[in-house]
Amino acid sequence: MLTGKNQRLRRGLLICSIALFADSGLQAGNAAPVPVKIQVDVSTVTGAIAPDFIGLGYETAAVAQTNYFSPKNAALIRLYRNLSPHGLIRIGGNISDHTAYVPDGTPAVHPEEGVTIINRAGLVDLGKFARVTGWQVMWGLNLGSGSKDEAIQEALAVNAALGGALQSFEIGNEVDFQPRFKNNYAAYHAAYLDYKAAIRAALPRAAFSGPDVAVNRDWLTAFANTEAHDLKLLTHHYYRSDAHSQRATLELLLQSDEPWAGTLEKLQQTSGAHGVGYRINEVNSFSGGGKTNVSDTFGSALWCLDYMFVLATHGCDGINLETDINQHAWISHYSPIIHGVAGSCRARAEYYGMLAFAMAGHGELLKLTLDKGNINLSAYATKDQCGHLRLTVVNKDLAQDAGVEISLPAGYARAAVFRLTAPSVNSQD
């Protein structure tokens, strides 16, 4: 509770807006809760959260679907607006390197072994959807199976359809994994420069982001050294593990990823040294579409919320959570939003983690002191332009409840508490 009294926090989330709680509904038997004390230093700002921090990511095949990215898809528009009035959509993924743009062709969704077809009408609908929601689009061009001339034609069509809603182009997806470069950064960089020059000849004001690496931070560093002056954003991907691995469990997902934390520190340093922001523009729980009964549960909502704050505290410009159809042509288990054949959309567990972040994840990040003992729990504080303080506490511990004591900072006299709840950490509803 606030003002010196304890609030029992089960596995879940507390945000104090001043306070928000998310509670999994599970209790650790009759065991006494672990005492947790939090103090917020409202005078010390540690960073700021970008206005378009929240984002969703899609395989290019999503644009080949009818009735999805459409100005008439009221359900999807509402889900977007609930998250942010100005987020970022990333279109790309593995499918972007196996996509053909056929202006008047019949759109077709295929797994990465085939060729996905997108057309002018699909791009026009995407542009209208982006303008209705207020979101912008980062678009990935084919560097894997297409030609430079085809990339130019695709870029021209995307630019014509999206207009001011086009945030930037990327050239290639997970370029450090592409067989054509055989772990040869110089070969990739030469191809990037060749494509960029050709696209700029047709679109002189085209903006670019990159390098869109999967795991190789050295490639991103090398790219920043020569390209940072001409970039919207540096881009990198992240998944906790492979969905087919025996390690792909909820327990792993909710534990801190220390090696990745080290990578984030390096990315933050590179970003700061070159004066260009970085974004984790493809991310979710487990690669390969996620793992059923893990990636689609309330536990994944807790991971999602906590992870978004982890990125924000490392100076990241934003996140694009993968959703909808994956490179295998089925809707991923981790997808925050799913849809039916007729295009009807609904939210799943991860969306609610994003929604909780939307409540508290804006404005300035503040310093706080967290005394939590041995419980797996995180806390974050933010302050908006109106001076409203929001404290988010996420209990990721699968065995222990927390007894949280929060001291109201000077100048604050009252608080409201919000909760995100589910019947259990394994709940899918």
For the domain covering 6-48+363-421, report its CATH number: 2.60.40.1180
Give the lowest-confidence range in 27-36, 115-124, 139-148, 184-193. 27-36
Nearest to 143 by CA among 185, 106, 95: 95
Architecture of the domain made up of 52-360: Alpha-Beta Barrel (3.20)
pLDDT above 70 as % of the chain: 93
Distance (Å, whole) CA 279 – CA 305: 16
Angle between helices 74-83 and 120-133 (to 10 degrees): 50
Query: Coil, strand, or helix at residue 366?
Result: strand
Exposure class string for 217-234: b at 16+ Cβ within 10 A, else e: bebbbbbbeebeeebbbb
What would the pLDDT profile of 26-38 be if each residue is shown by its tens digit? 455 568 899 999 9
* Averaged pLDDT for residues 294-311: 97
Q: Can you give the residue ranges of every domain in the chain?
A: 6-48+363-421, 52-360
User: What is the model's pLDDT at position 13?
Assistant: 54
Q: What is the pTM of this model?
A: 0.94
